[in-house]
């Protein structure tokens, strides 16, 4: 089991690169690469929407996932649902009643880990947009092979041979689990170990967020 004081040098994730304000006609945008996997996210709103779509209690969040080629699949609709549920947990929608916020995710390259990359890119784009949030969030993926070995942030080849794949999204305040989505066969012990390894590795993602926000704050200042 991974402890709270685990050495972060024990956890390796793919190199991350991000650019804010990638799209000029959105209220916030970010392009993020995790290894060779790349996602582009734009955020528009809060803005006026049709009355039948309005909520008197909070903003209405719409998430659109655009695959690299062809029409959206059932799997793409699943990504939209996961990202919407995660984002709704973090956004302070009660501050923007009767308005709408639209988050659009564009797949640019998928060499494994697209969903986690997209979730992280959404968080960065929301930060760039200035939408009020309860917390930031970070996604980490892992794979379990037939021998029970857990690999953090696996590549496409490792995903093809994985017995199970797990994605976890963590709250930036206390690292509590916001969203978890899994596929494949695994034991309860394997799940717990994977969860704790991903939780510890999320510190690397949150550190990356802080560095990016600081970089752009210095540029603005």
DSSP 165-183: EEEEEEETTT--EEEEEEE
Report whether 47 contacts 88 (CB < 8 A).
no
Hey, which CATH number is domain 11-220, 3.40.50.300, 3.30.230.70, 3.40.50.1370, 2.40.40.20?
Answer: 3.30.230.70
Instruction: Let me know how many helices (H) and strands (E) the chain has, helices first.
Output: 4, 9
Report whether 138 contacts 202 (CB < 8 A).
yes
pLDDT digits (tens, 9 = 90+) for 164-185: 999 999 999 999 999 999 999 9
pLDDT digits (tens, 9 = 90+) for 19-72: 999 999 999 999 999 999 999 999 999 999 888 888 888 999 999 999 998 888
C-alpha 119/C-alpha 216 separation (Å) is 20
pLDDT digits (tens, 9 = 90+) for 102-124: 999 999 999 999 999 999 999 99
């Amino acid at each position: 089991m991974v402890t709270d004081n685990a050495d972060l040098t024990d956890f390796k994730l793919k190199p991350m690169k991000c650019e804010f304000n990638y799209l000029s006609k959105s209220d916030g945008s970010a392009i993020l690469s995790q290894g060779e996997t790349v996602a582009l996210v734009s955020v528009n709103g809060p803005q006026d929407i049709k009355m039948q779509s309005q909520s008197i209690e909070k903003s209405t969040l719409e998430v659109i996932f655009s695959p690299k080629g062809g029409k959206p699949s059932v799997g793409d609709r699943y990504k939209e649902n996961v990202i919407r549920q995660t984002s709704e947990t973090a956004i302070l929608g009660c501050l923007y009643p009767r308005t709408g916020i639209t988050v659009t995710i564009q797949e640019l390259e998928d060499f494994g880990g697209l969903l986690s990359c997209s979730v992280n890119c959404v968080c960065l784009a929301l930060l760039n947009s200035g939408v009020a949030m309860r917390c930031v969030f970070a996604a980490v993926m892992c794979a379990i092979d037939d021998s029970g070995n857990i690999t953090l942030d696996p590549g496409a080849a490792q995903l093809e041979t994985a017995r199970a794949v797990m994605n976890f999204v963590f709250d930036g305040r206390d690292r509590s689990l916001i969203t978890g989505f899994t596929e494949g066969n695994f034991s309860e012990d394997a799940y717990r170990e994977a969860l704790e390894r991903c939780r510890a590795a999320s510190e690397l993602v949150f550190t990356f967020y802080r560095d990016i926000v600081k970089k752009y704050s210095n540029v603005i200042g």
